Amino acid sequence: MSKIKEQLLNEIEALSDESLKELLDFAEYLHKMKESKSVMDGENPLLKFIGGISHGSLAEGIDEELYGNETLN
């Protein structure tokens, strides 16, 4: 076990249950932030498909579809 893990475990032993809950919440937050950073760094496999097909303008005629043939101001 690394020295830092040993130090962390020693500190954890002295914490109250409430403090342990806060520590767990913080650890979960760190994991979520790491996952979010991975997605932002382009590791999301869905990002490979962006621009993968040519469909023309997907929004073409959207105003008429949503609002009918009324003139929009």
Q: What is the pLDDT of residue 7?
A: 96
Band the pLDDT of 68: cuts 50, 70, 90. Answer: confident
Query: What integer is the mean pLDDT of 60-69?
Result: 85
Q: What is the pLDDT of residue 36?
A: 76
Q: What is the pLDDT of residue 34?
A: 84
CB-CB contact of 72 with 63 (8 Å): yes
CB contact set of 20 (below 8 Å; sequence gap of 6+): 12
Query: What's the chain's length in residues?
Result: 73
Q: How do residues 8-58 score in pLDDT, each as one tens digit? A: 999 999 999 999 999 999 999 999 988 777 666 666 677 777 777 777 777
